[in-house]
């Protein structure tokens, strides 16, 4: 990923509603969520949500598919991973004590331990 793509992705997430929408789509997984349902879930007017989703789509963080009259949005996991790799590729000059694997930073290990 180049710096321009990273900046576009990061700037698109630098808004509360867009960040909430992106996180909602990440949680939804591959089925995605219809645009109207995203707006309803976040208590945002549909045309305003459409503008936010368009910004995320231009930043390549989300993709949309049409199913009849319904537009369904999906997180673009490949682009998200590329952005995370770009942000972490020079992390702490390889010092593993400072730069732990991202799964540990996100607390997935603790959540998995609680679930078992």
Q: Write down the pTM of the prediction.
A: 0.81
Q: What are phi and psi of 89, to 5 degrees?
A: -65, -25
The CA-atom distances, in angstroms, between 66 and each of 3, 26, 32, 39, 91 are 31, 19, 12, 17, 39
Walk along the chain (116 residues) in steps of 10 and give the mean pLDDT of each run. Answer: 94 97 96 96 96 97 94 96 82 65 55 46
* pLDDT at site 83: 92
Beta carbons within 8 Å of 76's beta carbon, 6+ residues apart: 60, 61, 62, 63
Which domains are seen in the chain, by residue range? Answer: 3-115 (1.10.10.10)
């Amino acid at each position: 990923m180049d710096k321009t793509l990273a900046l576009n992705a990061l700037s698109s997430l630098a808004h509360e509603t867009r960040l909430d929408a992106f996180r909602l789509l990440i949680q939804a997984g591959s089925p995605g969520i219809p645009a109207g349902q995203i707006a309803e879930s976040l208590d945002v007017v549909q045309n305003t949500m459409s503008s936010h989703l368009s910004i995320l789509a231009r930043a390549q963080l989300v993709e949309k598919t049409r199913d009849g009259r319904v537009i369904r949005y999906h997180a673009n996991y490949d682009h998200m991973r590329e952005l995370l790799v770009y942000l972490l590729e020079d992390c702490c000059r390889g010092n593993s004590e400072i730069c732990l694997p991202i799964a540990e930073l996100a607390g997935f290990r603790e959540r998995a331990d609680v679930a078992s």
